[in-house]
């Protein structure tokens, strides 16, 4: 009896995880199926789960008729610049906190982490005034420059935790061989911490790709909109597009836009899933 108990427990855990996965995937399935429906189908009560005939042309409608590709490219550019700035600034900062012995280092690190508790809404007005004085409003600079100035505190924390798992003997051996601190960081520590770096890249990409608040504050021209702002803009003038009528939002096209927006996130996670899990698991090994 005791011999079969672990197997029964494993089956129960597997069933619970499968049930949880189905619950999590249900909204994605509904979004995808709705994107293939016609406008009359989504108005039915109750709405059918499956489309009568898949409307693949919905994707062409939003891609060409609404210039959706422009919002897609804008988001891709901003995300790429934010990721590059985050990696190039967070890695040196995390390395310094992990391996440099200076006075009050832990106090400084604690003060740095305390800024994570400050809501973004508290600083939006002074930041907007500062960016407006620099004439950066309605450009991508307010979205990109903070990442190049070490603004991703969570990324510094995550990388610092992982860097501390690299044996100090490796660092000392490299120093004895004459390697500079810059060489040690980029040719020794970062390659050994690739799962953590990829984890920071994924989190940064998700934050930048899905960010609505900052682009909504700083971007005012339609040509500069990112995907989240473009989605709101689409809903605001959706009755001008095919499939809708006055005062009614064609939610089948809205779901088409949302599906295209989610696909890069899913693709990125599938590609780096194993490394991502390793990075999240390993960052808590050593505090």
| Residue at 263 is within a domain | yes
Which CATH number does the domain housing residue 126 bear?
Answer: 1.10.3720.10
Show the 3-state SS of 45-71: CCCCCCCCCCCCHHHHHHHHHCCHHHH
Cα–Cα dist 276/281, whole Å? 9
Q: Percentage of the chain surpassing pLDDT 70?
A: 89
Segments in the chain forming alpha helices (H): 5-34, 39-43, 57-60, 68-99, 105-114, 120-133, 141-148, 153-163, 168-176, 181-184, 190-192, 194-210, 213-218, 227-236, 251-271, 273-282
| Residue at 83 is within a domain | yes
| Residue at 40 is within a domain | no
Residue-number span of the structural domain to which 76 is assigned? 66-282
| Residue at 182 is within a domain | yes
Q: What is the pLDDT of residues 31-68, one digit of tens each?
A: 888 888 888 888 888 878 888 888 888 888 877 777 77
Confidence of residue 287 (pLDDT cuts 50, 70, 90): very low
What phi and psi values does residue 52 have, to the nearest 5 degrees? -60, -45
Give Cα 128 to chain centroid, integer Å: 23
Q: Does the pLDDT at position 286 exceed 60?
A: no
For residue 153, give every residue at least 6 positions away whose Cβ sits within 8 Å of its Cβ, in sequence order, or none.
112, 113, 115, 116
- Mean pLDDT, residues 133-142: 94
| Residue at 25 is within a domain | no
- Mean pLDDT, residues 174-185: 89
Cα–Cα dist 189/166, whole Å? 7
| Residue at 227 is within a domain | yes
Q: Token pair of 245, please?
A: 């009528």
Buried b (16+ CB within 10 A) or exposed e, 111-137: ebeeeeeeeeeeeeeebeeebeeeebb
Average pLDDT, the chain: 84
Contact 99, 169 (CB under 8 A): no
pTM for this one? 0.82
Contact 253, 243 (CB under 8 A): yes
Count: domains in the chain: 1
Please confirm whether the linkage preceding 46 is cis (ω < 30° from 0). yes
| Residue at 15 is within a domain | no
| Residue at 61 is within a domain | no
Q: What is the pLDDT of residues 194-242, one digit of tens each?
A: 888 988 998 999 999 999 999 999 999 888 999 999 888 888 776 555 4
């Amino acid at each position: 009896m005791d011999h079969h108990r672990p197997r029964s427990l494993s089956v129960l855990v597997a069933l619970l995880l499968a049930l949880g996965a189905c619950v999590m995937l249900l909204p994605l399935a509904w979004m995808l199926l709705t994107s293939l429906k016609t406008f009359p189908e989504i108005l039915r009560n109750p709405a059918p789960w499956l489309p009568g005939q898949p409307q693949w042309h919905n994707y062409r409608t939003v891609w060409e008729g609404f210039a959706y590709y422009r919002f897609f490219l804008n988001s891709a550019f901003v995300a790429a610049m934010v990721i590059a700035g985050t990696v190039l600034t967070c890695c040196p900062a995390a390395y310094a906190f992990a391996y440099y012995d200076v006075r009050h280092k832990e106090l400084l690190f604690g003060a740095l982490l305390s800024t994570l508790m400050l809501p973004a809404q508290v600083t939006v007005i002074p930041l907007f005034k500062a960016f407006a004085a620099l004439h950066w409003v309605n450009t991508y600079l307010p979205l990109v420059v903070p990442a190049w100035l070490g603004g991703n505190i969570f990324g510094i924390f995550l990388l610092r935790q992982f860097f501390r798992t690299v044996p100090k003997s490796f660092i000392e051996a490299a120093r004895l061989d004459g390697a500079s601190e810059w060489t040690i960081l980029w040719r020794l520590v970062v390659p050994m911490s690739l799962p953590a770096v990829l984890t920071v890249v994924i989190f940064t990409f998700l934050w930048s790709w899905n960010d609505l608040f900052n682009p909504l504050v700083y971007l005012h021209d339609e040509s500069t909109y990112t995907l989240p702002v473009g989605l709101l803009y689409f809903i605001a003038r959706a009755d001008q597009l095919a499939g809708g009528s006055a005062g009614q939002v064609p939610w089948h096209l809205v779901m088409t836009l949302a599906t295209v927006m989610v696909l890069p996130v899913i693709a990125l996670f599938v590609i780096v899933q194993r490394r991502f899990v390793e990075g999240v698991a390993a960052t808590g090994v050593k505090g």
